[in-house]
Amino acid sequence: MMPRTPEPELMDDAAQAQAYDAADFSGAHGRRVELFRERYPEKDIDGAVLDLGCGSGDVLERFAQAFPAARFTGVDGAAAMLALAQRRMEKAGLSARMNFVRALIPSPDIPADDYAVVMSHSLLHHLHDPGVLWRTVKERAGANSFVFIADLRRPESEARAQELVDTLSAGEPEVLQQDFYNSLLAAFTAEEIRAQLDAAGLSSLAVEEVDEIHVLVHGVIA
C-alpha cells in the first residue's frame, strides 16, 4: 500500500473554490443522502445538523432539500468556500435554515447544540492531523447525535489512483482531475480510520467501505 501524501488543508484559493463549486458532483453527492437514509435510525431529521468542512455547500444543500424540518450549521475554514455556500443557499431559498461559521477545525468557535446529526463530507482527507476531526466529533456530538462521516479512501498505488481519475472524472476540467488525484493520494484507508477511531475512544462507530473509492463512518457515540 502506498503511503499517504497530504494535500493543503484549506481550499481558500478563489479559482480552486470556484472550480470545485462548478463541478458536477451529482453522482457521488446525490447518492450521499441515500446512503445516510439507509443508516440513519429515524425517518426524518427533526433538529440541528452540524456539517464540518461544508465547503461550497453541495452536500449540505442536498441534505437541506431532503430534510425540510432540519436546520444546519456549516463550518469551514475557507472564506472563499463559505461565500459560495451562502450564495448557493440564497439561490435555493434555504438561507433561513442555514448558519455558516468560519472556523479552522479544531476550534472553540464551532457552536455547541443538541445536534441530531454531526456529519462531514470529504474533510478528513484534507487534515494533516486526522485526530482534530475525531476530537471535534467527540466534543460536539451528544448521546443522541448520529455521526455520519463520508470520505475518499486511498487506492493501493499511484497507478491505480490515475486509473480511477481517468475513469471517473474524464471530461472534468484539468484542475479538478488534478484535485481528485491529489485527494485520492491524501485519503486514509479504512484500516487507518479504524485505528484513528479506536485511539480517539470512538470504537462504537462503524467503518464501512461503500464502493471502490468511498468510506463511511457512522453510528452513535457510546
Ligand X SMILES: C[S@@+](CC[C@H](N)C(=O)[O-])C[C@H]1O[C@@H](n2cnc3c(N)ncnc32)[C@H](O)[C@@H]1O
22 or 159: whose CB is closer to ligand X? 22
Cα 107 to Cα 87: distance, rounded to the nearest angstrom: 24
Give the DSSP H or E segment for 152.
strand 146-152
Q: How far is the CB of 128 from ligand X (least distance, A)?
A: 8
59 binds ligand X per the rule CB under 6 A: yes
Closer by beta carbon to ligand X, 39 or else 144:
39
98 binds ligand X (CB under 6 A): no
Question: Between residues 1 and 104, which has the closer beta carbon with respect to ligand X?
Answer: 104
Rounded to 5 degrees, what angle do the CA atoms 161, 162, 164 make? 65
Q: Which is nearer to ligand X, 41 or 174 (CB)?
A: 174
Residue count of the chain: 222
Helix axes 174-186, 158-168, angle to 10 degrees: 140
Q: Which amino acid is at 67?
A: F
Is residue 126 close enough to count as binding ligand X by CB under 6 A?
Answer: yes
Q: Which chain residues interact with ligand X by CB under 6 A?
A: 9-11, 53-55, 58-59, 76-78, 81, 104-105, 121-123, 126-127
